[in-house]
Structure 1
Amino acid sequence: MEDKIFLSSPHMSDEGYEMQYIKEAFDTNWISPLGENVNQFEKELAEKVGSKSAVALSSGTAAIHLALKAAGVMDGDIVFCSTLTFAATANPIIYQNAIPVFIDSDYETWNMCPKSLEEAFLKYPNVKAVIVVHLYGLSANMEKIVHLCQEYNVALIEDAAESLGSYYRGQPSGTHGDYGIYSFNGNKIITTSGGGMLVSNNEMKMDKVKFWATQSRDPARHYQHSELGFNYRMSNIVAGIGRGQLKVLDQRVEKKKYIFEYYRNELSSLKDIEFMPINDWNEPNYWLSAITMNGKIRPLNVIEALEKENIESRPIWKPMHLQPFFEKYDFIGTNVSEELFENGVCLPSDTKMTEKDLEKVVDIIKTVMLVGTHASM
């Protein structure tokens, strides 16, 4: 495993910040959920992104679930959701017994297409919420999406699981809508091993979220529960890791950007390769460097060639409307997301990669492309 080049693996700080906070939790015996690390992690992350409040939770999925609940999504309600995403974005809609309608991407952002979203509003004017994803750290066109949600008076939830450290027009990703969620899964730009965070400027709603996440325990001397609750709170140990990781977030973004620019400089001249879109108004965190391949050499050719050398890569997310579980639900769009899925590859973007690692990846891709070119002549 030491020789393997990962797609994106955990990267603890060189300074050992994480262990300092973990040791503090052990020394004070705050091992179980809640404690000073949880409180401070919420405060520090909220300050980092400029949000009034934050609630640390067991996963990004839990954060989306409680955001939907806070938005009043109930049985039979319709929720618009980006189709080009991981299943964790859409699953909580089903948890609430609501009905997902999947919205296509556009080529400009790879994220939710405003034109398709507008079409969806015309078809389903009584929609209850919109979940927009910022894929691979790329921002969706939030100006248009926010405007549409305000026009139809619909709650907007940002799935910023992959985009902590990204900015749209100078404002942090996850803070443009009513609710924003972040994930600290092991492959994210910073990790707590597992966990998530929900942010919002609606402090009253966030107090309710915190109540639900701690089993909806009423303020009584005995255990009393007047509402359905969830065991969704982050532990004090996990939060300690998060506090340490947050200190190196900017360093991680800088390295991710370097990796992307290295690939772009080395590979952009190759025929039939295009890179994920970087717009003037978007400052991504470059979580994963992704390309599309539009010639005879297919993504699987590159993935398998890298795999033979113990290098991890991955296809672009398979759209939700193509997934066996979700294919029965409506889809609005022109199949841009399908084309991205069919042609896309996520390249190794691990922040521990060395120059030698990057050279190796690039050499393999160039070889695959050149051999394929000669073979097709």
Structure 2
Amino acid sequence: MSESRILLSPPDVGELEQEYVMRAMRSGWVAPAGPDLDAFEAEVAERVGVSHAVGLASGTAALHLALVSWGVGPGDVVPVSTFTFAATVNAIRYVGAEPFFVDCDESGNMSPVLLERAVDQLRAEGRDVPVIVPVDMLGKCVDYATIGEIAVDAGARLLCDAAESFGATYRGKPAGSFGDASVISFNGNKIMTTSGGGMLLTDDRELAAHVRKLSTQAREPVAHYEHTEIGYNYRLSNILAALGRAQLVRLDDMLKRRREWRERYRALFADQPGVSILGGADDACDNCWLTAVVVDPDVSAWTAADLGAAFDRANVETRPVWKPMHLQPVSEGLRGTLDGTSERLFAHGLTLPAGSVLTDSEFERIEHAILEVTVA
């Protein structure tokens, strides 16, 4: 029998999660909202250091409702990271606004230089830029100091897609605490999970209240069902929030485990010419959600495709880094400020298993697959 497949980042759940979920079920709070959801929001807000948190069905829902609440829509242009998962850009398109793609720098995060160039171009065209959406790539915070200044100068709000970076920090501040609002994800492959789910984090009381209202079909606070605006069924359930509460208790241990895998990968590739860990030159504050390597084919004796093939033979899952959104067929006709960096990283990058449930014996299989290529 072949060995079981090693996955990139499977959920890490156990007895504590079962205890929290069963307690929620026994309480009778199986309806969408309840005391565990209230507690989960408060606990995450406290950890991040913001005043308000709203638990939602996904990080995508959080992005969408922030944009709706701010009145972003047709005629608006939104500078956004091109090196990201489709959900970031989808939320912009949900409201009828136009995404304007901004390329990354060598860290994989939005380039402040290119962002400033994009904003200058759009303002020169007379376009309305109400919000900027940077993305924390694979758990590394963007340069929030510089990007925040650009947003202020442009008179734009900053909506931070921190879906991948919960638990990371930037200059001592937690991911999720930046901008006018931040969004985190609790999808099944993230650092911690509620199965599906996400959260909007902000110090803006009015924004949080409006997002919470919209997420429950925008029902007005009267005895009968009264609606004055379009709402959505986006609230996180109480039972899933209970799962999240248990995960939050274990978060630091899960972060530590992923950091250990990052360091072991770093040691394995240290003497390989032309091979680097994406964002790894300065990753002490990252959450190490996933570890990706970039292989320069002009320097290395092997390619990212060679490494991926070795992993496949060992029944180990890998994945290319994000295909830039400006290359996606669905983005045809959309513009951006691009310099080819994300395209190069996509062509020569490979994401490797780094989950907190990964075992030492499984990592030995990973190591053997790497050595099959690097010592050949």
Query: Aligning the two structures, in what range does the TM-score lie when normalised by the shorter sequence?
Result: over 0.9
- 1:310 corresponds in structure 2 to 315
Q: How far 1:24 sits from its partner (Å)?
A: 2.1
- 2:69 corresponds in structure 1 to 70
Provide the aligned C-alpha RMSD in A. Answer: 1.5
The 2-side partners of 1:305 and 1:129 are apart by: 43
1:220 equivalent to 2:211? Answer: no
Counterpart of 1:119 (choices 102, 117, 120) is: 117
Counterpart of 2:293 (choices 291, 294, 306) is: 291
Q: Structure 1, residues 130-172: CA drift from partner, whole Å, max 9, x if none?
A: 1110011011111100010011110101111110000000001
Instruction: Name whichever of 328-337 and 207-216 sits farther off.
Output: 328-337
The 1-side partners of 2:286 and 2:356 are apart by: 15
The 1-side partners of 2:228 and 2:70 are apart by: 20
Query: Which consecutive unaligned segments of at least 5 residues does structure 2 have?
Result: none
Q: Structure 1, residues 214-269: CA drift from partner, whole Å, max 9, x if none?
A: 00001122111110000000011111100000111111110110000001012221
Contact 2:151–2:157 (Cα < 8 Å) also in 1: yes
Give 3-state SS (helix, strand or coil) of 2:99's partner.
strand
TM-score of the pair, normalised by structure 2: 0.95
The 1-side partners of 2:266 and 2:332 are apart by: 35
Q: Structure 1, residues 47-95: CA drift from partner, whole Å, max 9, x if none?
A: 0100100000000110110111223211221111100000011001110
The 1-side partners of 2:335 and 2:248 are apart by: 39
- 1:38 corresponds in structure 2 to 37
5 Å-filtered alignment, 1:1-377, equals 3-13=4-14, 16-107=15-106, 109-125=107-123, 126-278=128-280, 283-295=285-297, 297-371=302-376
- Opposite residue 320 of structure 1, the aligned amino acid is M
Query: Which consecutive unaligned segments of at least 5 residues does structure 1 have?
Result: 372-377
Contact 1:156–1:177 (Cα < 8 Å) also in 2: yes
Instruction: Name whichever of 305-314 and 158-167 sits farther off.
Output: 305-314
Q: How far 1:119 sits from its partner (Å)?
A: 0.4
Contact 1:168–1:281 (Cα < 8 Å) also in 2: no
Contact 1:74–1:96 (Cα < 8 Å) also in 2: yes
Instruction: Name whichever of 353-362 and 153-162 sits farther off.
Output: 353-362
Contact 2:310–2:372 (Cα < 8 Å) also in 1: no
The 2-side partners of 1:100 and 1:21 are apart by: 40
The 2-side partners of 1:362 and 1:33 are apart by: 44
Residues 356 and 28 of structure 1: is their aligned pair in 2 closer, same or farther, counting only changes over 3 Å?
Answer: closer
Instruction: Name whichever of 315-324 and 124-133 sits farther off.
Output: 124-133
Q: What percent of counterpart residues are identical?
A: 39
- Opposite residue 121 of structure 1, the aligned amino acid is V
Q: Structure 1, residues 91-118: CA drift from partner, whole Å, max 9, x if none?
A: 01110011000000001x2100000000
- Opposite residue 122 of structure 2, the aligned amino acid is Y
The 2-side partners of 1:297 and 1:64 are apart by: 40
Contact 1:268–1:275 (Cα < 8 Å) also in 2: no
